[in-house]
Amino acid sequence: MKRQLLASFGAVSLAMLSALADGASISVDMREVRGETAHDLWGIFFEDIDLSIDGGVYAELVRNGSFEEGSINRWNKALPLAAWHPVGAAELNVREIEDDGGKRYRVASIRAKKGCGFSNEGFFGIAVKEGVEYFLSLRIRGNKAPISVSLDRTGALSAATGEIAAGGGEWADVALTLKAVATDSRCSLVFRTAADEDFEVDCVSLMPGDAVNGLWRRDVFERLAALKPRFLRFPGGCWVEGEMMKYAYRWKKTLPPRSERKPQWNLWMYWSSNSVGFYEYLLLAEALGAKPLFCINAGMSHKQNQPMDKMGEYVQDALDCIEFCNGDAGTKWGAVRAAMGHPKPFNLEYLEIGNENFGEAYDERYALYHDAIRAKYPEIKLIANFFKDWHVKSRHVEIEDIHHYETPEWFMTKGVEFYDKAAAATSFFVGEYAAQDAIGFWGDLKGAIGEAAFMVALERNPGKVRLAAYAPLIANVEHSVWAPNLIYVSTDTVFGSPSWTVQKLFAENMGETLLACAMDAPDSKFGNLDGKAIVADAVLAGNGDVVVKAVNCTGEATKVTLNVAGGKRECSYVRTVFGGEAADVHNSLYEPERLKEHTIRGNAAFPIAETLPPLSLSIYRFKELSQR
């Protein structure tokens, strides 16, 4: 069956692709070094969007385990039983109690007949794997008879079972290990009483035994680690600002024990538990070998700003977060970090002030942060927002955060030229970018190849572009309000969009120095925009490999003559090719690896004649070219 490319590239069928387009040439000179590459260039951007934390990378399987989650409705009334259900003849309610210290919190109150009880559905089902242990913990009081615990499978079979012993009238902390005897993606955590009972529970948690560092869902973490991120920007994004100041992200509120953290309404239409707080984000960066890049609230939300005469605590938050990350255990906030289990500093290097803030209100607030941080921590690299063409004017800016959400055609044309033409007065953090318009919900090949062309242009401008991150990073397939995303998660499956593969290939093929790379490629039309058929650059890797990245932006196979001068004329090479049979092809739960790269090994005698497939990224690693 013939597949056709999208109309923006012309109706080019597979049968027609044998007719190759006019040729191009790529000439690399090892003797001409253009400078060092931006060593922190490729990173990841983490925002709590589309259930990327709870129901995403965080391994917790119980939703709303502390019964604090509410719902925003027309009466602004909290309905904190989200994800919880009575089982059989049972009543399940939530009541608010006050502890001896005056703190108020919610607990679940259960009245159940023998053999009945309550259940938690998790995040659209709880996936269990045969042979894996699951660690249950909760607080309970009032049960005078045992309570059975099970992970129930479809058809009322149990994938794992256990029992909570009879208790008394005081709160007791209970821990139980459940070992799965079957595999199922849609279990519920079910509690059933052995007698008619009235009792209360709180702080219910179920963590899989194969979680990375006891925190991260293993298959999702592995997808992140494969990107080899040099930095992790967190926690957003619009999540940093919130719709109003009461929903703004305040990092200190996320430090108490998880059982005491309050959930927060997320403008992406769900409650965030804050189980992954400031400290856990730092742990995630550390586990990935990435530098932490914290984006702190600038005293601004979408609809409100903190008055200037009350900005002191916000600026102090910035100073304190640096001390928390970098101070030794003898400092106030370094001691807090050490008490949480991390005596060594996290070595925060980058701090961004606000997200997508602009205008005079941002300008004057940025000045407050800038002056206070420069006075106490001059070594911190500050990042300012560049949004809606607004530059900070009140202070000198070292790095500006700029975002690009555009069509694939823009990335292949205007995007390729953007940083070539940008003024060099400052350096840029391309904090969010993605081909977004005119592509499929799950992303597609055309979007990924557009981004690849753009990334070549970012890589070849190390004096201007220091950091870059695709956005957004993770989405749960059951709650995806933003499209596309880089990684998609269901209860038991993870797959990457085509853009994920492009990001991985660029990260795997970073170089240390930028080489001279001259390119002669035919002109091409991309919608109503003009551009070149081929985009390319070349870098020298730390092991001596010459790495050439070549992106064919067109819907036609293109002949290329590739030459590397300044080294041996003959060498071995590895060629990695990423492409597909049509512009709109994508991965999905049904076909999670429909698109993936292919590797070819061979020997080359320069110049070599190659053919770049339509809409493709080709990466060549030429080995042992040095004359020494």
d(CA 526, CA 531): 7
- In angstroms, rounded to a whole number, what is the distance separating the alpha carbons of residues 575 and 580? 16
Q: Sort 214 into a burial class: Cβ within 10 Å, 0-12 / 13-18 / 19+.
A: exposed
CA distance 190 to 150: 5
265-287 pLDDT, tens per residue? 898 989 999 999 999 999 999 99
pTM reported for the whole predicted model: 0.94
Ranges of each domain in the chain: 84-208
Residue 102 confidence (pLDDT): 75
Paired strand residues for 496: 487
What separation in angstroms does the CA of 300 have from each of 92, 238, 244, 339, 366?
40, 11, 8, 31, 11
Q: What are phi and psi of 319, to 5 degrees?
A: -65, -40
Angstrom distance (rounded) from CA 329 to CA 163: 42
The pLDDT of residue 20 is 41
Instruction: Give the pair of three-digit tokens for residue 214.
Output: 């006891």
Task: Look at the alpha carbons of 329, 335, 337, 340 in this order and tell me if their dihedral is positive or negative.
Answer: positive
Instruction: Determine the 3-state secondary structure of 54 from DSSP.
Output: helix
Cα-only R_g, the chain? 27
For residue 183, CA distances in Å to 7, 61, 154, 156 come to 44, 15, 11, 14
CA 386/CA 270 separation, integer angstroms: 28
Q: At what angle do helices 312-326 and 332-339 cross, to 10 degrees?
A: 60
pLDDT computed for residue 437 by the predictor: 83
- Return d(Cα 26, Cα 517) in angstroms, integer: 7
The whole-angstrom separation of Cα 135 and Cα 179 is 9
Which amino acid is present at 65? G
| Residue (of 536, 504, 533, 505) closest to 519 by Cα position | 536
295 forms beta bridges with 352
Fold of 84-208: Jelly Rolls (2.60.120)
Tokens linked to 225:
């680690």
Per-residue pLDDT, 168: 85
Sign of CA dihedral 437, 441, 444, 449: positive
Tell me what pLDDT residue 21 has: 43
Q: Which of 458, 625, 612, 614 is nearest to 550 (CA)?
A: 612
CA gap 304, 241 in Å, rounded: 9
Confirm if 581 and 598 have CB atoms less than 8 A apart.
no
Beta bridge partners of 564: 28
The β-bridge relationship of strands 117-120 and 84-87 is: antiparallel
As a whole number of angstroms, the distance between CA 39 and CA 41 comes to 6
In this prediction, residue 71 carries a pLDDT of 54
CA 105 to chain centre: 31
Residue 433, amino acid: Y
Q: What residues have CB less than 8 Å from 574, skipping those under 6 apart?
A: 599, 600, 601, 620, 621, 623
How do residues 154-195 score in pLDDT, each as one tens digit? 656 788 899 999 988 899 999 999 999 999 999 999 999 999
CA–CA dist 169, 189 (Å, integer)? 24
> Is 357 strand, coil or helix?
coil
pLDDT for position 423: 83
Tokens of 505: 């290939």
In which element (H, E) is residue 412 found? helix 408-412
Where the chain has pLDDT below 50, the residues are 1-21, 74-76, 78
Instruction: Assess contact for 275 and 263: CB atoms under 8 A.
Output: no
Question: Between β-strands 104-112 and 90-98, what pairing exists: parallel, antiparallel or unpaired?
Answer: antiparallel
What would the two tokens of residue 165 be?
């012993």
